[in-house]
């Protein structure tokens, strides 16, 4: 056995089983990108339609009273608060709960799955081009559905990946299906997506400089 062959054998024996496969990307789905679901308590579920409408009116009246020093609006809000108190409801507590729910929903829409960050993954999706070079898309958003950000409202930020791929990929119009493979990075950004009549900002929670972009083969 030559010295080179001995070195190869020694190295192969020293590598723990499975290490050679460790670099292989893990195939993931889009729901994996969202963080674990947080339990959101909703005190509004037990309120009647009239009570919900009263809360909305209080918000409107108090905003009007604050902005334009409208005494009548302030009186209307005060009367509604008294009625809610008779029903045993804490208006300020409900408003605080509303803000907390909004914050939790925002976190659920923009937060990342920390278990994925820094790992090698393979993810399917559709290319929404941002920049071309030599007729190839070298920067794009990877989105989970056809029409996302263009024909429908943008997905949650953690359901969009900002991809920079200098090698470029040929695309046929919008929403070419592909696989991307590489290390997932948590990086918040806002990307401008071009429309026929202008641009619109799209919030993004992930980014990747993939090692490989392949046409989707099912």
The tens digit of pLDDT for each residue in 182-208 reads 999 999 999 998 765 567 899 999 999
Domain range annotation of the chain: 43-110, 120-215
Report the percentage of the chain scoring pLDDT > 70: 87
Question: What integer pLDDT is reported at residue 106 of this predicted model?
Answer: 83
- For residues 8 and 14, the answer to whether their CB atoms sit within 8 Å is no
β-bridge pairing 120-133 and 176-183: antiparallel
Give residue-wise pLDDT tens across range 101-134.
Answer: 888 888 778 999 999 999 999 999 999 999 999 9
pLDDT at 15 over 50: no
**For 137-152, what is the mean pLDDT?**
90
- For residues 150 and 126, the answer to whether their CB atoms sit within 8 Å is no
**For 145-162, what is the mean pLDDT?**
89
Give the max Cα distance, the chain. 98
CA dist 4 and 29 (Å) reads 43
Domain covering 120-215, topology: OB fold (Dihydrolipoamide Acetyltransferase, E2P) (2.40.50)
CA dist 169 and 181 (Å) reads 13
Give residue-wise pLDDT tens across range 29-38.
Answer: 999 999 987 7
- pTM score, whole prediction: 0.71
β-bridge pairing 26-27 and 136-143: unpaired
Q: Nearest-CA neighbor of 42 among 111, 108, 102?
A: 102
DSSP state of 18: T
């Amino acid at each position: 056995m030559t010295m080179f062959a001995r070195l190869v054998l020694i190295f192969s024996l020293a590598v723990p089983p499975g290490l050679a496969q460790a670099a292989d990307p893990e195939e993931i789905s889009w729901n994996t990108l969202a963080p674990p679901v947080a339990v959101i308590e909703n005190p509004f579920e037990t309120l009647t339609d009239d009570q919900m409408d009263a809360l909305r009116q209080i918000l409107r009246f108090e905003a009007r009273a604050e902005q334009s020093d409208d005494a009548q609006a302030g009186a209307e809000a005060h009367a509604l608060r008294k009625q809610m108190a008779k029903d045993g409801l804490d208006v300020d507590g409900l408003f605080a709960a509303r803000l907390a729910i909004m914050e939790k929903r925002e976190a659920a829409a923009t937060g990342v799955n920390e278990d994925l960050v820094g790992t090698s993954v393979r993810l399917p999706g559709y290319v929404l081009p941002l920049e071309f070079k030599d007729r190839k898309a070298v920067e794009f958003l990877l989105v989970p559905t056809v029409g996302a950000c263009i024909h429908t409202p943008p997905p949650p930020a953690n359901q969009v990946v900002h991809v920079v791929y200098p090698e470029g990929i040929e695309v046929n119009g919008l929403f070419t299906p592909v696989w991307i493979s590489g290390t997932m990075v948590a990086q918040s950004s806002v990307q401008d997506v071009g429309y026929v009549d202008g641009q619109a900002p799209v919030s993004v929670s992930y980014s990747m400089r993939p090692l490989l972009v392949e046409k989707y083969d099912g």
